[in-house]
């Protein structure tokens, strides 16, 4: 059996565009001599459709698209994900489904069994789980079809969540499967490629059957899908793999002798402690952010972006990612100096813009800031300047950038990192204003690693931006460490509290950090939930991002003792 894995980039809700892309890759698979072309989970609708499923016409239109697509399929079959209506009550309205199309007809349908409802997943909100699943026969082979979560084993899930094992049901049931297929929309986070590789390899070896895995690629809102489709033989040897972070058509003939793929590059195995290396993890992170930024901007209908350039490391990295994703001609960087801006910072921002070849504008804010202070002169009489005046400067800059966004149709990118967002070291309606937080899930320590990696490819970020102490430059001689602990300490606490759900006491025991410091950081994280709720969407690259995967009440008073 010759297979073509269509690792495609779909857009949520673009039924016509997704169908056209499916047909394009299907025809390429036919030209390659494939017996079957395999597409990702919900390839018709895009993933995740979320509350578009509340629009009944949307589901009906997805079924119409499926039927129209089936009419264009010939002898070579197409396996594709879509949404099916559940006619039974009680029960949820829909199934997360897959259809086998051949010779103008839908010849088989299968439904997803395990519906994840944790972290970024909400499938139990919409879908009914499959009660049973049987292999279908194609070209004399009994094929067991699973959809994404169905193939994940408990060793790799966050907890023992399910009582059923769909793969074992397919293999042990009547007419047991000879091959396992899995169509997925499995989102990326740091180290995910390695985790997924080892899990799939272990499943193939354990059950002694070939395993074919087709994953979505592309960015949809906060989520980034990395592709990395794979085919294993029954001994766990990797026979073929798709590209990372780009569309690909992977063709493999299971009946022909195949030399197992030798991973000469560790790049795909990028998880720490999972057989990869740290440098490959940073490279993977860069590719993920570029893909997520490009797709978010374009799928939202924008062609260009604007961002503030302070001369610091965060805005420098964001500008580099934007230039890579969209082309430097579609990026505008704006310097907005005040009396507190150092000449070095202004020069560093200008040098970065010149190195990248992006548009560059300078709009001083001092006169505007003085006008604000004059307006508040009587009301604030006798009160010392404090964070109020600092935040006014940030909000002036946010207003300027939003004006450029409105006037020229740019999307405004925020440049704050995860460390700052965690403890509220950011200004609502100021530096938090924008349409996308590109690096808002990247800790500050990793921002530096990303910057060094970018400079290793092309030296574009000024060395001074890497070496000088981070500063918001909102008052004389200000540095981040006036308010925050060193970033390596802050990031270690942040990872354990947010990503690993450790208590303050557990963090102190594990790290030996000062207890007062740890509790202060934890308190700041909890108190600033209201700020993060108003932040723009951020590209998810860690196991627990602020936003879609973390749902903490704002008005709550629980404090761990």
Q: Which residues are catalytic?
A: 41, 112, 148
- Quote the Cα angle for 458-460-464, to 5°: 130
Two structure tokens written together for 555: 């008005």
By three-state DSSP, how is residue 106 classified?
strand
Two structure tokens written together for 44: 């018709």
Any idea of the CA torsion for 405, 409, 410, 412, to the nearest 10 degrees?
Answer: 40
CA distances from 404 to 45, 315, 327, 372, 407 (A): 34, 17, 19, 21, 5
Please state, in angstroms and rounded to a whole number, the distance separating the CA atoms of residues 258 and 191. 28
What ranges in 136-264 are assigned the alpha helix state H? 166-172, 192-207
As to burial, measured by CB atoms within 10 angstroms (0-12 exposed, 13-18 middle, 19+ buried), residue 273 is exposed
Nearest to 11 by CA among 53, 60, 58, 49: 49
List of E strands, 87-167: 94-102, 105-111, 136-138, 141-147
406's CB contacts (< 8 A; 6+ apart) are none
Please state, in angstroms and rounded to a whole number, the distance separating the CA atoms of residues 8 and 462. 37
Which residues make beta-bridge pairs with 143? Answer: 136, 179
Please state, in angstroms and rounded to a whole number, the distance separating the CA atoms of residues 25 and 32. 11
CA distances from 244 to 79, 292, 342 (A): 22, 13, 41
Per DSSP, the residues of 316-368 read: HHHHHHHHHHH-GGGEEEEE---TT--HHHHHHHHHHHHHHT-EEEE---HHH
């Amino acid at each position: 059996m010759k297979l073509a894995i269509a690792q495609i980039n779909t857009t949520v809700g673009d039924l016509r565009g997704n169908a056209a892309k499916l047909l394009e890759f299907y025809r390429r698979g036919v030209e390659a001599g494939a017996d079957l072309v395999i597409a990702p989970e919900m390839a018709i609708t895009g993933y995740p459709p979320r509350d578009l499923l509340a629009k009944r016409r949307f589901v009906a239109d997805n079924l119409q698209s499926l039927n129209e697509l089936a009419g264009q399929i010939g002898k070579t079959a197409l396996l594709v994900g879509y949404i099916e209506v559940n006619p039974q009550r009680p029960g949820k309205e829909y199934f997360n489904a897959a259809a086998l199309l051949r010779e103008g007809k839908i010849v088989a349908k299968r439904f997803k069994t395990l519906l994840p409802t944790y972290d970024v997943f909400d499938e139990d909100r919409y879908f009914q789980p499959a009660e049973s699943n049987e292999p279908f026969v194609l070209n004399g082979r009994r094929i067991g079809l699973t959809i994404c979560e169905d193939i994940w084993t408990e060793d790799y899930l966050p907890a023992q969540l399910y009582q059923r094992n769909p793969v074992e049901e397919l293999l042990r049931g009547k007419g047991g499967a000879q091959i396992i297929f899995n169509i997925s929309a499995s989102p990326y986070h740091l180290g995910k490629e390695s985790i997924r590789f080892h899990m799939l390899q272990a499943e193939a070896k354990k059950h002694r059957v070939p395993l074919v895995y087709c994953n979505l690629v592309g960015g949809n809102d906060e989520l980034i899908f990395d592709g990395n489709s794979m085919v294993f033989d029954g001994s766990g040897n990797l026979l073929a793999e798709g590209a990372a972070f780009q569309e690909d058509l992977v063709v493999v003939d299971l009946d022909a002798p195949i030399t197992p793929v030798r991973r000469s590059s560790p790049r795909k195995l990028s998880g720490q402690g999972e057989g990869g290396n740290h440098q490959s993890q940073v490279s993977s992170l860069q590719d993920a952010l570029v893909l997520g930024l490009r797709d978010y901007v374009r799928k939202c209908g924008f062609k260009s972006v604007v961002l503030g350039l302070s001369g610091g490391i965060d805005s420098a990295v964001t500008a580099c990612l934007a230039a890579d994703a969209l082309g430097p001609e579609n990026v505008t960087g704006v310097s907005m100096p005040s009396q507190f801006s150092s000449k070095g910072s202004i020069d560093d921002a200008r040098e970065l813009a010149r190195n990248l070849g992006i548009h560059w504008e300078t709009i001083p804010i001092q006169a505007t800031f003085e006008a604000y202070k004059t307006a508040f002169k009587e009301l604030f009489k006798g009160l010392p300047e404090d964070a109020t005046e600092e935040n006014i400067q940030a909000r002036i800059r946010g207003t300027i950038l939003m004006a450029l966004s409105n006037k020229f149709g740019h999307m405004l990118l925020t440049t704050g990192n995860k460390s700052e967002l965690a403890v509220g070291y950011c200004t609502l309606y100021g530096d938090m204003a924008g349409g996308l937080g590109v690096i808002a899930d990247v800790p500050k320590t990793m921002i530096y690693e990303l910057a060094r990696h970018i400079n290793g490819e092309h030296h574009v970020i000024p060395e001074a931006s890497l070496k000088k102490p981070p500063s918001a430059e909102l008052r004389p001689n200000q540095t981040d460490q006036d308010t925050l602990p060193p970033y390596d300490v802050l990031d270690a606490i942040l990872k354990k509290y947010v990503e690993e759900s450790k208590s303050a006491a557990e963090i102190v025991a594990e790290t030996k950090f000062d207890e007062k410091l740890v509790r202060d950081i934890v308190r700041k994280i909890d108190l600033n939930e209201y700020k993060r709720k108003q932040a723009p969407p951020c590209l998810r690259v860690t196991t627990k991002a602020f936003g879609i995967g973390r749902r903490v009440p704002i008005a709550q008073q629980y404090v761990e003792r």
